[in-house]
Every structure is written in structure tokens, then in C-alpha cells.
Structure 1
Amino acid sequence: MTSPPTTAAAGTPAPLLPDDETGRPAGTHAGPRTEPRTVNPKDFRRRSLRTRRDFWVFLAFALPNLILILLFTYRPLIANMQYSFLDWTLGSPTATQVGLANYVRFFTGPDAREILSTTAVFTLATVGGSMVLGLAIAFVLNQNLRGTTFARSAVFAPYVLSGVGIGLVWLFIFDPVYGVLAWFLRQFGASSPQWINDPDLALTMVTLVYIWKNLGYCAVVYLAGLQSMSQDVLAASSLDGASGWRQLVSIKLPLLSPTTFFLSITCMLSSLQAFDIIRIMTPLGQGTSTLLFEAYLQAFGAYNRAGYSAAISTVLFVILLAITLLQLRFVEKKVHYS
């Protein structure tokens, strides 16, 4: 007579099944089985074809632009650096390798300090003036008033006009003999300052004109930042009793920090490369010789020193690169993107 099967007592673990009954090694608990994931070959081929197609479409659109950038930006940049190591007169078929002599000559020359200081003063004044005045005008243009559309167009118009035309018009205004400003001052018995002949006044004149040209660009960009600002935040601060000044300092300006960061980079790069207005209003660079304009005078003026001019241009490029990297490294940390 066979004995009945035994059952485990309550509260005791069930015995493990042998390998041949569970399909698992002895000493492990049974668990849910996962079926192996199968990849459809057709789906894999379809994704691969789509990836290759997207790559070729990207290459078709990007490659012409990349080629143009390489030919007209990086190739001249590298060539200019090579020329900076030469003693070369513009138009001469021969040149002499001089190493770093052009750089040593510039930094040890008597005019280096004046050129660098003029560049710094002009850049800081034009960038700061354009951004501050542009922000103030943006707040005015952001009001819901009659005629704001025409005012926005009028403010932005100088930015898209030719720098040569702007320089000629303002040169007529500042002319100490026949200019409009001289005529206006004579009505009050005053004489016009010698804007063109005085180096200090010449720099002031060019700076004012450049600020006038660029403040419309800053105003429009700041206006876009103001109009994209969340009105719920401003309404909530008004309900909390925040004054207009408090809203400006604690809410609007922090929310405009991405716009300010963008303008600080673009305006500084533009000011460091300013040429057309300076060339028209002060052809000989009397008191207005920035790095870029000095490079022009050395290469195409009375000196024809192309190698020395290339060295000055390379110094300007290094300064532009250093300023951009410093802004991205330190200034961007204070930008509020949300």
C-alpha cells in the first residue's frame, strides 16, 4: 500500500523543485519568464535607409555653406596669420620671413598704447550707449500708443542704412564752417567746436554717430524681449504690491538678461570691427585710429606695409576671440533663461 503524499506545514517554505521540473538551476526560485525580443529585419532596414537619407539631405544643404565659410572666412584668416610673419610691402612680388618682429614692433611702438586705448574707449562707449539708450527706447515703444509702428520703423532705419551715407550726412552736420550744427550755434552767438581737427572731439563725434546708428538695433531686440515676457509674472507682482521701479529691477531686467547677453556680444563685435563711419568722417584717423582702422592705414595708406598690417589684424582677432570666450565663460552664468 502506497503512502499518501506529504504536504508542507503551514508557515514553512515550499521545497525547491528539481531542475528537470522547473527548467531552472537547483537552489533558485521560479519567476516569470521573459521572451527574447525579436527585431524585424524590415524595420531595421527601413530605419537605416531613413537615417542615410536624412544624412544626405543634411549634407546637401550644409555642404555648400560649409565650403563658402572655409573659402571666405577660415582660409583668409589663416593666410592673414601667415602674412603677419613676413616683411612684405603691398604689391611686391617678394617677401622676407621676420618671425614675430611685426608683433614686437607693434607692442613696443609709440602708437600702440594710443591705438589700444582708443579702441577700448570707442568700444565701451558705443556698446554701453547703444544698449542703455536702446533699452530706454524699447520701454517707450512697448507702450500701446498711437504711432508706435511708425516710431519703431524710424528708430530702426539708421541701422540698415549705409555707413558711408550716414558718415557723409553727419560730416555735413558737424562741419565747423558750413555744417548745420555750426549754423545753429551761430544763432546764439556761439562758435562751433573743431570736431574734425581736434583728436579728442573727433573721437567723440564718431562715437555719437555710431551710437545713433546702432541704438535702433538694440531697441528692436530689447522690444522683442519685452513683448515675449510673461504677463502673468508681472500681474502677480502687481497684486503683491510691487511698484514700477521694483518690477523693473527685480523682474524685467533679470528676464531680459538673455537679450542683454546677446546684445553685449553682437554689439561689442560690431564696434571692434567698425570701419566705414570712421573712414568717411576721419580719413586720416586723427584721434580715431582703432585697431581695424590702423590695420587699414598700414596696408592701404601711405605705408603699404602688408605684413605689419596683418599682424595688427591678428591682434584684433585674438582680442575678439578672448572677449567672446570670457563672455561665454563668466557672463553667461548670470543669465536667467527661465
Structure 2
Amino acid sequence: MNSTTTVVGVDTAQQVFQVHWVDAETGEVFSKQLKRVRFLEYFANMAPCLIGMEACGGSQHWARRFLEMGHEVKLMPGKAVKAFVSGNKNDVADARAIWLAVQQPGVRAVAVKSEAQQAVLALHRMRQQLVKFRTMQSNGLRGLLTEYGEVMAVGRAALNRGMKDALARLAERLPAMLIDTLREQWDMLGKLDGQIAQIEQRLLAWMKQDKASKTIAQIPGVGLLTATAAAATMGDANTFKSGREFAAWLGLVPGQVGTGGKVRLLGISKRGDTYLRMLLIQGARSVLCHAKESGAWVEQIQKRRPSNVVAVAMANKTARTIWAMLAHDRQYQKDYVSLKPA
């Protein structure tokens, strides 16, 4: 962005959008409310400018449309914009805060994703929701059966083993309408299994065609879900300056508080994408549990730190490896050692 570029702050919504910008030559402040049908038309008649928006629902769609028009777009986390809201919170104040935030050098932008990348992430979200429904369904069935004296061990396998016999015993003394409903709810678990498996097959088909996903799937602890989610979430790896910055963006580094020159490290910051961070940590746990040789680096950490800290450290290393492979277009090398440039 140069000094002559017009900066526009946009507060998006479903039907009414608020726009805020200042004319660089006259200093005149423009604060307009636009209907959805006139929104793109307003920017189509403007010279190329920098448009700032919060990274919220629908912002990726509008960002892609603005880029097609030749504008520059910067999506920002809502937390970064909130600091610039003064007075009462409303659409006018939000648009002005976005206009201020987009001009700050320290505010990190959220990558604009393609429709294909967003489609992959949509599959992940739907799968995550189905898994949650399946867990709720299973726990609900187990709880209802407990009310009638049928107690089962924790886990889906135990439920499948004991459900048929439990329903047969309960059918001797309970109304048929309840038994039929319980059987239908049990069958629903199988349907959820099928839907989840179908989504995973579609993700697998996409991974076979996507170079980035296939590349990072070679890393130990990175499977189908992690590879596709990481490639789609990151977008362009060159958006980040280093693997350390990417790991920090995912919240896999310690938070810190400090004053008077004294800094105290806390637990991980948990910023960024919760879902991808969870996948990386679970993948690290799998490597630590099943790898025959974890390596000298991990063994040294295990001697002095708790298992959860070791898993997060491993996930941090995996995130940095993902960035390095995509940013430098390299294949995974088990014994690769990075060296600082001379």
C-alpha cells in the first residue's frame, strides 16, 4: 500500500453494509450505508483501493469478488478490530474501526481462500458436526438404557455388542413403542457412520488431486484430515514469513505476560484455528504413542517435560515442517536438518 492508495473500511452484514473511507486529497469523510444489491456496484465504480473487512461469515466471498475487480483486500480477525472501536458499538463505529485497523502495520491478515479451499473446509465442518451428533446419539442411548438397568461399557464397540441383547431383554417388559424408537435411534448411528465415511472418501479424492495435501501427508502424524485441513486453511504458504510464524498463528506457542522488562510464559496461546490445532496435537500424540523410534529430540524433552507439553512441542514442529515443505516446494526428508544461512 502506498500513500496515495484509498483505504476503505467495510462492515459486512446480510442485507445492509456500512462503508467508511476518507478522501486523501480533500480530507472529506465518507460514511455510507449500502443495500446488498448496490454493494458491488459501489466498488465497481471506484479506482483500485485497499478494502479492509473483518474475517467473518461471507467475508471470503466478498474478498474474492473485490479481487476480481482489481482491488486489494485485507481480512482481519475480529479481535484485532475490536481494539479500535470507541464509544457505542454500531455499524458506523465498526466500519470506522476497520478503516483504522487495516492501516496498522502490526495487524496480521487472514488469507483469502479460493472456493475450492473453502469447499474442503466446509466438508471438514460438516464432518465435525456429524461426529458430534454421533457422540451425542451414542451417549443418549447409553443413558436411556441405564434408566432401565442396562449398563454398558464406555465406547461405541461396547454399545454395538450389547445393544441387540439389551433391547431383547427390555422388550419383555417395556412398551413396544419405546423399543421401536430405541432401535430406530440405534440404526441412526449406522447412518451417521455412512455419512462420515462418505465425506472422508470425498476428502481423499480431493487430496489425491491436490499437490500440497499429498506433499504434507508424508509427514508422520499428518493423515487425511490434517493434510487437507492444513492445505486449505493455510492457503498460500508465503503469507507467513516463517514456520515459527505459522505455528504462532495456530496458537502452538506459549502466551506471555510481562511488565517492567520481566516476561512470564504461560500455556499455549490457543489463537488461530482451533480445529487444525486439535488435529496437529492429536497427530503428535499418535506419533509419540506408536513410533518405534521417536528420535533424540523428543526423548530429551520427554525426560524433563510432561506428556502434554511434549505433544504440543511435537505439533509445533509438525506445523513448522508443513510450512517449510509448502513454502520451499520440498518433499519430506526424515533426517533433514535445517541450517541458518551464512
TM-score (norm 2): 0.22
Larger gyration radius, structure 1 or structure 2: 1
Question: Which TM-score applies when normalising by structure 1?
Answer: 0.23
Q: Which has the higher helix share?
A: 1
